[in-house]
Amino acid sequence: MADIARQAQVSEATVSRVINDRPGVSAETRQAVLTALDVLGYERPERLRKRSAGLVGLVVPELDNPIFPAFAQVIESTLAQSGYTPVLCTQSPGGVTEDEYVEMLLDRQVSGIIFVSGLHADTTSDHERYLRLLARPLPIVLVNGHTAGIDAPFVSCDEQLAGDLAVSHLVALGHRRIGMISGPHRFTAVQRKLAGFRSATQRLTGASGSDVDKLVELTLFGVEGGEVAAERLLTKGATGIVCGSDLMALGAIRAARRRGLDVPGDVSVIGFDDSPLMAFTDPPLTTLRQPVAAMAVAAVRSLVDDINGHGAPRSEYLFRPELVVRNSTAVAPAPAPAKIPAASSAV
C-alpha cells in the first residue's frame, strides 16, 4: 500500500478506501490509485475490474489504405466507451476471408459485427451471408456500400456528392478536360462516385455522355492503379483528375511528374478520403474528406441500440463529404497558342 500511495501521491488511507471501494474519494483520485495499481503490476480487486458488456467484431479490409485504420481506431474507441470489447479482423490478399472471420467471431459469441467496406459493397458478391446473420438473429451494421434487400443499418459517405464537389471545384478553376480514376465498377461506392462525376461534368462543361466516358479510367485501387490510369488520362489531354482514393491520387501525381509535368501547374489532382498525412504530401493533397469520426460513432450507436433491443432504423445514414482544398489543385493551364504557318516568300 505504501508503494501504491507513493506512486499515486496520496495517503495510504486513501489507497485503502479505493481498494475497499469505500466512499469519500474523488473520481480523479480514485482513478490515480487504480492507475498506480496497474503501473506497479498489482491485480485490481475483483469488484474494481471493469466488466465487458460483450465482444463486438470489426471486419475491415487491408490496412495499406490509411483510411481503414482510421475507421478501426474510432470504432474501437467508441465501442470501448460503450463497454464493449472490440475484436479486430483485418483482411489481406490471400489471407483469412471475411466469411472465415465471421465464423471465428460467431464461435466467440460476439454480440454483433460491424463491417467496413466488406463484401456488402461488392454488387457481384452473394449477400445471402448477411441475411443468414440477421436470421440468427445477430445485429450487424454495414459501413460504406449500401445494398438493397439487407434489413440492417447502413452508414455511408455520400460518394455521388463527392464526385459532384470534385468536378465543381475543377470547373471553377477553369478546367474543362477533366478525367476520373477509380476502382472496379462492381463496387457501390465507385458507381455512385462515377454517377456524380458524370452528372456534374455534363452539367458544368456541356460535354456529352460519350465524351465524359472517354475520360474515365477504372482500375485497381492503390498507388500503382492510379499511376497507370493517370498515364492514359494525361495522354488524352486531361488537365484535372478526380481520384477514387488518396492513394490513387498519389499515383496520379507520380505519373504526371514522370512526364515532366508540374502538379498543380500543368495538371490538378483531387483525392478522396483525406486519410492521415495527406496534408503533408508533396504537394499537400486536395481531397474529399470522409467524416470518419461521425460515421464511426453512428455505426457503433446503431449496433449498440440493436444489441440492447432498441431497434436501430433499417436505413442508410448518408454523411456529407467535405472538400479540403490544398496545393494539388490550381487554375487550369492556359492553352498553348496556335502555331501560325510561316509566310512563303515570293519567287
CATH code of residue 95: 3.40.50.2300
Shared domain for 107 and 224, answered yes or no, is no
Shared domain for 175 and 286, answered yes or no, is yes
- 22: exposed, middle or buried (Cβ count in 10 Å: 0-12, 13-18, 19+): exposed
Q: CA torsion 171→258→273→270, rounded to 10°?
A: -10
Shared domain for 34 and 59, answered yes or no, is no
Terminal-to-terminal C-alpha distance of the chain: 112
Shared domain for 86 and 111, answered yes or no, is yes
- Sole residue written with cell 472471420: 101
What's the pLDDT at 49? 64
Last residue of a domain, one of 248, 276, 291: 291
Q: Which three cell numbers stand for residue 2?
A: 505504501
Question: Among 29-38, 78-87, 291-300, whose mean pLDDT is lowest?
Answer: 29-38
Residue 271 has pLDDT above 90, yes or no: yes
What's the pLDDT at 335? 77
Q: What pTM did the predictor assign?
A: 0.82
Conformation bin of residue 212: beta by default, left when phi > 0, alpha when psi is -120 to 50: alpha
Shared domain for 24 and 100, answered yes or no, is no
Shared domain for 105 and 176, answered yes or no, is no
Does a structural domain hold residue 269? Answer: yes
What's the mean pLDDT in 86-92?
A: 88
What's the mean pLDDT in 38-59?
A: 78
Q: How many CB atoms lie within 10 A of CB 65?
A: 20
Render pLDDT for 229-265 as a digit per residue (tens, 0 to 9): 999 999 999 999 999 999 999 999 999 999 999 999 9
How far apart (Å, rounded) are the C-alpha atoms in residues 101 and 109? Answer: 13
Does a structural domain hold residue 326? Answer: no
Does a structural domain hold residue 335? Answer: no
Does a structural domain hold residue 334? Answer: no
Q: How many CB atoms lie within 10 A of CB 330?
A: 19
Shared domain for 165 and 230, answered yes or no, is yes
CATH code of residue 38: 1.10.260.40
Does a structural domain hold residue 331? Answer: no
Query: Would you call the peptide bond into 337 cis, given omega within 30 degrees of 0 as the criterion?
Result: no
Does a structural domain hold residue 73? Answer: yes
* 209 Cβ contact partners less than 8 Å away, ≥ 6 residues apart: 198, 202
Does a structural domain hold residue 196? Answer: yes
Owning domain of residue 24: 2-48
Shared domain for 112 and 257, answered yes or no, is no
Shared domain for 141 and 251, answered yes or no, is no
C-beta separation of 331 from 174 below 8 A: yes
Domain count, the chain: 3
Shared domain for 266 and 183, answered yes or no, is yes
Shared domain for 286 and 182, answered yes or no, is yes
What percent of the chain stands above pLDDT 70? 95
Render pLDDT for 144-182 as a digit per residue (tens, 0 to 9): 999 988 999 999 999 999 999 999 999 999 999 999 999
347 pLDDT band, cuts 50/70/90, is: very low
Does a structural domain hold residue 203? Answer: yes
Shared domain for 299 and 195, answered yes or no, is no
C-beta separation of 338 from 149 below 8 A: no
